[in-house]
Amino acid sequence: MSTAMEIESRLPTREMLAMRTRSRLQRGGLRSPDVLLVEMAGAFMVVKDFQPRPFWLRHTLGRWLIRRELRAYRALAGHPSVPHLFGRIDAFAFAMEYRPGVRIARSLAGRVPDDLPEALEKAVAAMHDRGVAHLDLRHRSNVLVDRDGAPVLLDFASAVCFRPGGLLARWLLPRFARMDLRALSKWRDRLLVRA
């Protein structure tokens, strides 16, 4: 089994990417990247890639979204519920740890640990402590439940980042964080409804 550092040092180049792609986890739309499962050094990683989008789009929105998402993943380095960032491949793509799981949904009620809502709250609080508000946690594709029943937070393309403890963090972050807290209460309600 390769360690995260070993994989990191073997970040695929753009040229290697097609050869190493094992499947497409999600086909991107006009404004979203392809999400690829890539095998490197005997281990899987996930690559978000804007390269297949039209030239004008990948050079504008694509570059911007990749930069934005990288910023959030860097701010969240070491957060247990956030995939480890392996790095940027080029201006249009980056790679991160593969954290398999199922998308959060009402249908998981009764089939996940009772403390999942608390675990999710803790994960989100730890994210806010690092100055990051996610802003898209209502979307079920952005919260996975792993095989141990623990939450995984994904997709920081809409996230806003502040310097923890800074003036803006103290002033603005709580306002943004409220959106995340509303999403949490939605998931809490849905997970508590048993079939």
Q: Closest distance between ligand ATP and the C-beta of residue 190, in Å? A: 17
| Site membership for ligand ATP, residue 98 (CB under 6 A) | yes
| Site membership for ligand ATP, residue 139 (CB under 6 A) | yes
Q: How many CB atoms lie within 10 A of CB 3?
A: 10
| Site membership for ligand ATP, residue 100 (CB under 6 A) | yes
What single-letter amino acid sits at 3?
T
Q: What share of the chain is helix, strand, coil (3-state, %, to 5)?
A: 40, 20, 40
Write out the binding residues for Mg ion, residues 142-171 only, by CB under 5 A.
142, 155
What is the Cα–Cα distance from 57 to 65, expressed in whole angstroms? 11
Q: Are the CB atoms for 138 and 178 separated by under 8 Å? A: no
Rg of the chain over CA atoms, in angstroms? 17
| Longest pairwise C-alpha distance within the chain | 49
Q: Closest distance between Mg ion and the C-beta of residue 102, in Å? A: 15
Binding mask 4-33 for ligand ATP (x = CB under 6 A): ---------------------xx-x---xx
Contacting residue, 63, 88, 99, 188, with ligand ATP by CB under 6 A: 99
Describe the crossing of helices 173-192 and 116-129 by its angle, rounded to 10 degrees: 170
Contacting residue, 7, 85, 95, 96, with ligand ATP by CB under 6 A: 96
Q: Which residues bind ligand ATP (CB under 6 A)?
A: 25-26, 28, 32-33, 35, 46, 83, 96-100, 103, 139, 141-142, 154-155, 157
Residues that bind Mg ion (CB under 5 A): 141-142, 155
